[in-house]
Structure 1
Amino acid sequence: MFAGAALLLLWGLALSPVTEQATFFDPRPSLWAEAGSPLAPWANVTLTCRSPLPTQEFQLLKDGVGQEPVHLESPAHEHRFPLGPVTSAIRGLYRCSYKGGNDWISPSNLVEVTGAEPLPAPSLSTSPVSWITPGLNTTLLCFTGLRGVTFLLRREGEDQFLEVAEAPESTQATFPVHRAGNYSCSYRTHAAGTPSEPSAMVTIEELAPPPAPTLTVDRESAGVLRPGSPASLTCVAPLSGVDFQLRRGAEEQLVPRASSSPDRVFFKLSALAAGDGGGYTCRYRLRGELAAWSRDSAPAELVLSDGTLPAPELSAEPATLNPAPGALVQLRCQAPRAGVRFTLLRKDAGRRWVPRVLSPGGPEAQFELRDVSAVDSGNYSCVYTDTSPPFAGSKPSATLELRVDGPLPRPQLRALWAGAVTPGRDAVLRCEAQVPDVSFLLLRAGEEEPLAVTWSTHRSADLVLTYVGPQHAGTYSCRYRTDGPRSLLSELSDPVELRVAGELKPQEEGAAVQAFAPMVPSSGLRFHAPLQR
């Protein structure tokens, strides 16, 4: 079997410059091509596979199909696969893998061997973000599978290359970028050589101030808190190595903080006072004397109530507590007087949280649940609190149990490619749902186990089949499920057909039953199972 490669994260909890840094270990190998002569790059080609860990077994993969593994007499970090002159039988998309313990590690980067000119396009990416602002060192990274080339950077609208970088011992070059615009890169093997096909365009924006971070109330603090309770909020920036600030209104909140990653911080509020409820925001800035603060995050609400005021009344319209899927439900919270802040509470499977907060000015707040589905089922109540001292709060209202029957709404699955997929490329399918904070599952017709599972805070997720080969041809659907003790599962989407260019050769039939699991991305949990027939 092929094991999904894991990232090993060693994170410090204190916000010191040393322990704030995260150490990432990527066990995937790297693959590159070397030309016998830069004047004729396809005349004599060798592929080199390098593993970060010593191993006795390497494997080359071509067009999505594993070749015969190579067993070495003693462990090594590197193995060379001579291809020789590039003919029609040699052309293709290559990756490599190695054996770590009893499992094959997820495959390397892709190297395209075409045997033709212009040379295949490189890839262009940004680091750490795709925007520039004063004090930030944004760079563009141009990468190709051919080692020892000269890289060329171009900005859209300009005739000449902006930067030229030689990389005699590397497959990539880094370019600093100081102006907004659309950029692409290419490369050549010698000074008089024809540049390769250009990379896809990358857009760099100029942002001042930097974009807002996100602020969330941690799960244990998401309900109605009593004065004296602790609370925790998490602020996440779009890049690492920044200073954070928690604010309530225009005032900075000097509270203890901790971190598990250099792009985020946990603000710890202890023994909340009665007036500490309400909206909080956070912001960040680059480390430097002239760095500007980012835009403020969207507010995150802390709800405090001491339970000393009379309970409000909560009613539903329509009066039925078993509405049809897709209906509009209005929950009306009525207080004895005006000028208070209303909070709608929902409890489901032992978890209580705050979905809405309103300050209407009158003695009544109306909370709308649009296009309801089974995910809206739960026990609802409401409270109200004074917005001025002594910040008294009510007891919770009587509970209304809302139940919406039926499965979750059907998602939509879209293929992010056109026509047949070239063997060796990745196939990306986008699953779109009507609710956020769910796990998306990709399934193949006739199989029960999902091929990919991705959790997302958004209403969609990209599900990836990596290094597609003939064995991936088939029909796919997606569905999503809610997490927690009371997990709900949606209906299957309409199917999408994946066709793979070319046909399976007889000698490849036995080798084409395995696929690979890519890395776990930092933005969410993703698992790709091996694809087997």
Structure 2
Amino acid sequence: MSAWVALLLLWGLALSRVTEEALFLDPRPNLWAEAQSLLEPWANVTLTCQSRLPTLAFQLLRDGVAQDPVRLASPALEHRFPLGAVTSDTRGLYRCRSGLNSRWTGLSNLVEVTGSEPLPPPLLSTKPVPWITPGLNTELLCHGGLHGVTFLLRREGDDQFLEVVEAPEDTKAIFPVKRPGGGTWRTELPLPRFPTLNSLPRTGPGKQCPHGCLALMMARPPPPTLTIKTDSAAVLSPGSGVSFTCVATLEGVHFQLRRGEEVLMVPRASTSPDRIFFQLNNLTLEDRGFYTCSYQLRDNLTPWSLDSAPVELVLSDGTLPAPELSAEPAALSPAPGSVVQLRCRAPRSGVRFALVRKDAREHRVHGLLSPEGTEALFELRDVSGAHSGNYSCVYTDLAPPFSGSAPSASVELRVDGPLPRPQLRPRRIGAVTPGRDAVFHCEGRVPDVIFELLRAGKAEPLEKVWSHHPSADLVLTYVGPQHAGKYSCRYRSYPLLSELSDPVELQVAGE
């Protein structure tokens, strides 16, 4: 982002509202193919790489392998790469990139050059989201990669085409969704040379749509995600503050935070058009309880989204007697993989218990229970180094004035050894076609960690993904022959690091 901003300033663009919006634009270039004649699309082909800003360098990549870069004498917005008649030497999956202040941008969209009929299938996507809600203008974007073709849209299971769009000066077409309802949608991309549309691949009802799908109609947009900032996730004291983050499924929306059914008017800020931060200051005991957030399009005509999953805020004034916390078994250095039970006892019943874990990084609520009796049993299964830390518990009244206890004496739990070894497996079996993506699934046992993909013999990870769940997909984008080899994954929960998974070999077709 810093290079992008510097480049804008270099060309003298003031940071007005227009420029601020431009900062969110994707700097990756656009790539398309042009045929000298649509009647013979592969007889003479040129690939055009169009940059977002004037640049001095362009580079074409074929089947995951970078070609020699092109250096220009003066800045340009695009560069044309002539392929001529498509042969086995030029057939493949292409992307391009442009220079961005002495660095390369990310890769462009994918363009497939087959040299044979029928044309490659187009890519169908949705704007702004893959679902339909009354009042939201959802559109279908069909991207074909070839200039001057005709796009036809049809509904899955329906032989009739809903709409036909000619794109003489473009490689894509936009179809407004005029018939909201359930079902999936797909596109065909015929040329004048191909009169028989029935020869194109099709899918039956209930099958996955290969060219792109649109979800069922929804009366309300899907829910956002609400989280508490890490350093605010402990048991809080009156007078302290807390920060919530609400992330929506689309950009440019209004947000609201609620406690129960009450809409809260609290300070808020945003660093991205799809999320907002709510700040609650000077908390009181009455601020305890469950919080949710939702969003609405800025036109105020569409319904509010479904509510996020609730997040519970725990406050205690420390005026009630401290509970007692004990561990079963009593050994505080359990073997990895075993089960540990932490029992919290209060002097009376009818309270809500919170188990709190403090380690080198954070102080956070680990579990909440409201048993009928005077004690709560918290069970830690399959313990590992991630469970190491100092545990304590508190309890709070379920009725006003919502007083809370002082914390119990802490119990230190130490589990030796690294985090459990994850398992890595490819999402697809067999060799990967050059130019396609290779997707690996890394499955561990610990949530809220960073997953890393490593190649054998390399110390630095190729991909990193943070996941709230104990598993994540790791993607190698635009694979070429140079990516063939053995890969492993691991995950880290600072300062702990798991063992490497057993290796998985990536095979690239043609090698």
TM-score by length of 1: 0.86
Match for 1:180 among 175, 179, 182?
182
1:338 corresponds in structure 2 to 349
C-alpha distance 342-221 of structure 1, shift in aligned 2 (>3 A): same
How many Å apart are 1:371 and its aligned residue? 1.5
Equivalent-residue separation in structure 2 for 1:110 and 1:200 (angstroms): 14
Deviates more, 1:312-321 or 1:59-68: 59-68
Match for 1:489 among 488, 494, 497?
497
Equivalent-residue separation in structure 1 for 2:195 and 2:64 (angstroms): 31
Q: Which amino acid is 2:270 matched to? A: S
SS at match of 1:55: strand
CA offsets, 1:434-492, max 9 Å, x none? 12211111111122222222222222222222222211111111111113xxx111111
Contact 1:5 1:106 in 2 (8 A): no
1:523 corresponds in structure 2 to none
Contact 2:33 2:45 in 1 (8 A): yes
Identity %: 67
Equivalent-residue separation in structure 2 for 1:53 and 1:20 (angstroms): 15
**1:126-525 correspondence to structure 2 within 5 Å:** 126-177=126-177, 178-190=180-192, 193=195, 199-288=210-299, 290-483=301-494, 487-503=495-511
Equivalent-residue separation in structure 2 for 1:242 and 1:58 (angstroms): 36
How many Å apart are 1:315 and its aligned residue? 0.8
CA offsets, 1:298-329, max 9 Å, x none? 22121111111111000111221111222221
Contact 1:122 1:197 in 2 (8 A): no
How many Å apart are 1:193 and its aligned residue? 4.3
C-alpha distance 37-292 of structure 1, shift in aligned 2 (>3 A): same
CA offsets, 1:22-45, max 9 Å, x none? 841322222110010111111111
1:24 corresponds in structure 2 to 24
Contact 1:22 1:262 in 2 (8 A): no
Contact 1:131 1:180 in 2 (8 A): no
C-alpha distance 501-352 of structure 1, shift in aligned 2 (>3 A): same
Equivalent-residue separation in structure 2 for 1:243 and 1:72 (angstroms): 45
Contact 2:126 2:214 in 1 (8 A): no
Q: Which amino acid is 2:507 matched to? A: R
SS at match of 1:388: coil
Q: Which has the higher contact order (CA 8 A, sep 6+)?
A: 1
Equivalent-residue separation in structure 2 for 1:435 and 1:7 (angstroms): 38
**Aligned pair 1:68/2:87, yes or no?**
no
SS at match of 1:132: coil
SS at match of 2:386: helix
SS at match of 2:189: strand
Deviates more, 1:472-481 or 1:101-110: 101-110
Equivalent-residue separation in structure 2 for 1:60 and 1:146 (angstroms): 16
Equivalent-residue separation in structure 1 for 2:246 and 2:431 (angstroms): 43
Contact 2:3 2:100 in 1 (8 A): no
Equivalent-residue separation in structure 2 for 1:335 and 1:473 (angstroms): 59
Q: Which runs of 5+ in 2 are unaligned?
A: 9-16, 203-209
CA offsets, 1:64-105, max 9 Å, x none? 222232232222221111111112222122222333343333
Deviates more, 1:376-385 or 1:451-460: 451-460
C-alpha distance 182-286 of structure 1, shift in aligned 2 (>3 A): same
Q: Which amino acid is 2:217 matched to? A: E
2:53 corresponds in structure 1 to 53
Contact 2:421 2:490 in 1 (8 A): yes
Deviates more, 1:66-75 or 1:285-294: 285-294
SS at match of 1:190: coil
Equivalent-residue separation in structure 2 for 1:417 and 1:72 (angstroms): 41
Q: Which amino acid is 1:168 matched to? A: P
Equivalent-residue separation in structure 1 for 2:352 and 2:429 (angstroms): 52
SS at match of 1:206: coil
Deviates more, 1:190-199 or 1:60-69: 190-199
C-alpha distance 96-245 of structure 1, shift in aligned 2 (>3 A): closer
SS at match of 1:224: coil
SS at match of 2:332: coil
Contact 1:221 1:302 in 2 (8 A): no
Contact 2:242 2:279 in 1 (8 A): yes
Contact 1:274 1:306 in 2 (8 A): yes
SS at match of 1:234: strand
Equivalent-residue separation in structure 1 for 2:324 and 2:475 (angstroms): 48
Contact 1:7 1:24 in 2 (8 A): no
How many Å apart are 1:20 and its aligned residue? 10
Equivalent-residue separation in structure 2 for 1:238 and 1:164 (angstroms): 30
SS at match of 1:428: strand
Equivalent-residue separation in structure 2 for 1:106 and 1:235 (angstroms): 28
Equivalent-residue separation in structure 2 for 1:460 and 1:97 (angstroms): 32
C-alpha distance 242-22 of structure 1, shift in aligned 2 (>3 A): farther
Equivalent-residue separation in structure 2 for 1:111 and 1:269 (angstroms): 49
C-alpha distance 494-203 of structure 1, shift in aligned 2 (>3 A): farther
C-alpha distance 289-70 of structure 1, shift in aligned 2 (>3 A): closer
SS at match of 2:161: coil
Q: Which amino acid is 2:268 matched to? A: R
1:521 corresponds in structure 2 to none
Equivalent-residue separation in structure 2 for 1:118 and 1:6 (angstroms): 40
Q: Which runs of 5+ in 1 are unaligned?
A: 11-16, 504-533
Q: Which amino acid is 1:467 matched to? A: Y
SS at match of 2:216: strand
Equivalent-residue separation in structure 2 for 1:263 and 1:56 (angstroms): 33
Deviates more, 1:19-28 or 1:109-118: 19-28
Equivalent-residue separation in structure 1 for 2:364 and 2:226 (angstroms): 16
C-alpha distance 83-288 of structure 1, shift in aligned 2 (>3 A): closer
CA offsets, 1:174-194, max 9 Å, x none? 222222211111212338645
How many Å apart are 1:244 and its aligned residue? 2.4
TM-score by length of 2: 0.90
Q: Which amino acid is 1:173 matched to? A: A
Aligned pair count reads 491
Root-mean-square deviation (CA, aligned residues, Å) is 2.5
How many Å apart are 1:279 and its aligned residue? 1.5
